[in-house]
Homo-oligomer: A and B are copies of this chain.
Amino acid sequence: MKDLDDIPAIMAEIGARSKAAAAELAYAAPSAKAQALEAAADAVWAARATIVEANARDLEFGRDKGLSDAMMDRLLLTEERIKGICDGLRAVAAQADPVGAVIAEWDQPSGLHIKRVRTPLGVVGVIYESRPNVTADAGALCLKAGNAVILRGGSESFHSSQAIHACLVEGLRASGLPEDAIQLVPTRDRTAVSEMLTMTDTIDVIVPRGGKGLVGLVQREARVPVFAHLEGIVHIYIDKQADPVKALNIVLNAKTRRTGICGAAECLLIHQDVLDTVGQGVIRALLQAGVRVHADETLMAIEGTEAATSEDWGREYLDMDIAAKVVPDIDAAIAHIRQYGSNHTDCIITEDDAAADHFFERLDSAILMRNASTQFADGGEFGMGAEIGIATGKMHARGPVGAEQLTSFKYLVTGDGAIRG
């Protein structure tokens, strides 16, 4: 490796190696990829003491840096969490291999037989923040899809990610796959991120996983295509025809089950006709569960709520907070979501099919739900196995991004001497 101060040179070398590895990975045997992931899981488990030790250094760095409790919790690796990482690797190993799968197949009158088959994307760059387990998840999903991956973890999880990465490389080595298939940027220097965003010759797509700072940087600087992962500004609209019990259970679950995930509800919209019959009960239950309710003028009448400011609409709390507002009708709810939502996940609670259809048709979130907790916005819950995140853009991947979404396709056309007239 070059001088660690010469970031462009380091990144150029990593890029060139990734591209070479990707060319080989594109036709690697499915069994070799599965074997590499199994071996990586074994290696992670065998190295759990080393990983916990590396994690302790990161935790110390985090404490010195004054990270919040939530951030420190994301950073923490316990033996149980390490077992979760191993389980994740084995689950991806066990999934069907997407590469080469025939998506469609048909004959043309000209005598041509046409197949559309899945191919790897090439080289994926993953830029993430504190959670060290992303190292394993992203590495595994990219490998499964036949892609080489360049991982750039957060500076907080630097040592933990390195320890996990070493195990992934051990898996690659054990199965005879190129070690450069999964590379980790070996520096905390942030200019490595800017570098990645412009490596159009070697990186095919960037997957950014992080907060507003990272998203802004990506929007300003990226020249490489991006699978955008914006915030989850998740709305739940309680319709005029909402079932009161479903409304109560869903809103409570969507807000409080886990507040730190992107599918957690952040804003509640209540149809004015059911404010007394459904809405008030839901707000009181939220307050009772310890949620701070940032209420509009009408809902402020309920004891325990606090006045919402303009900052509360379109805000991702990721905490025991929710914004709440009364709307005159479904179209006002839709207009609010269009203005303040992030096209991640939005939900309607209603027994009225026409209202649900209207909501599904007029909104364009990656995930639209009816009568279900938004905490189901998750690749595992969609049956996709692991996920690298929830894409909120409209290009290529959208919603939960699993191995299949990390592929492209090509056409294989077979004739028997066919010429065009």
Say whether A190 faces chain B, with CB atoms less than 8 Å apart: no
Are B250 and A370 neighbours in the complex by a CB distance under 8 Å?
A: no
Q: How far is the CA of A204 from the CA of B228 in the complex (A)?
A: 13
Given contacts A110-B376, A394-B408, are A414 and B366 in contact (CB under 8 A)? Answer: no
Over the window 351-369 of chain A, the binary record of Cβ atoms lying under 8 Å from chain B Cβ atoms (1 yes, 0 no) is 0000010001110111111
Q: How far is the CA of A416 from the CA of B242 in the complex (A)?
A: 11
Are A372 and B121 neighbours in the complex by a CB distance under 8 Å?
A: no
Are B26 and A364 neighbours in the complex by a CB distance under 8 Å?
A: yes
Q: Chain B contacts of A369 at CB under 8 A?
A: 413-415
Q: Chain B contacts of A252 at CB under 8 A?
A: 419
Are B419 and A250 neighbours in the complex by a CB distance under 8 Å?
A: yes
Residue in chain B with minimal CB distance to A382: B114
Say whether A395 faces chain B, with CB atoms less than 8 Å apart: yes
From 205 to 233 in chain A, residues with beta carbon under 8 angstroms from any chain B beta carbon are 205, 219, 225
A37 smallest CB distance to B (angstroms) = 22
Say whether A375 faces chain B, with CB atoms less than 8 Å apart: yes
Are B381 and A110 neighbours in the complex by a CB distance under 8 Å?
A: yes
Q: How far is the CA of A415 from the CA of B108 in the complex (A)?
A: 41
Q: Chain B contacts of A368 at CB under 8 A?
A: 410-413
Interface centre among A253, A370, A398, A417 (most CB of B within 10 A): A417
Residue in chain B with minimal CB distance to A26: B364
Per assembly, the copies of the chain total 2
Say whether A243 faces chain B, with CB atoms less than 8 Å apart: yes
Interface centre among A119, A369, A396, A411 (most CB of B within 10 A): A411
From 108 to 126 in chain A, residues with beta carbon under 8 angstroms from any chain B beta carbon are 108, 110, 112, 114, 119, 121-122
Say whether A74 faces chain B, with CB atoms less than 8 Å apart: no
Q: Chain B contacts of A415 at CB under 8 A?
A: 369-373, 376
Q: Chain B contacts of A413 at CB under 8 A?
A: 367-370, 372, 376
From 386 to 421 in chain A, residues with beta carbon under 8 angstroms from any chain B beta carbon are 394-396, 398-399, 408-420
Are B361 and A420 neighbours in the complex by a CB distance under 8 Å?
A: no
A197 smallest CB distance to B (angstroms) = 12
Q: Chain B contacts of A338 at CB under 8 A?
A: 23
Are A112 and B381 neighbours in the complex by a CB distance under 8 Å?
A: yes
Say whether A383 faces chain B, with CB atoms less than 8 Å apart: yes
Q: Chain B contacts of A376 at CB under 8 A?
A: 110, 112, 413, 415, 418, 420
Are A249 and B419 neighbours in the complex by a CB distance under 8 Å?
A: yes
A203 smallest CB distance to B (angstroms) = 12
Q: Which of B372, B396, B411 is close to A418, meaning CB atoms less than 8 Å apart?
A: B372
Q: Chain B contacts of A412 at CB under 8 A?
A: 360, 368, 370
- List 6 extra interface pairs beyond A114-B383, A372-B413, A373-B415, CB under 8 A: A26-B362, A253-B420, A368-B411, A371-B414, A372-B419, A399-B411
Are A371 and B417 neighbours in the complex by a CB distance under 8 Å?
A: yes
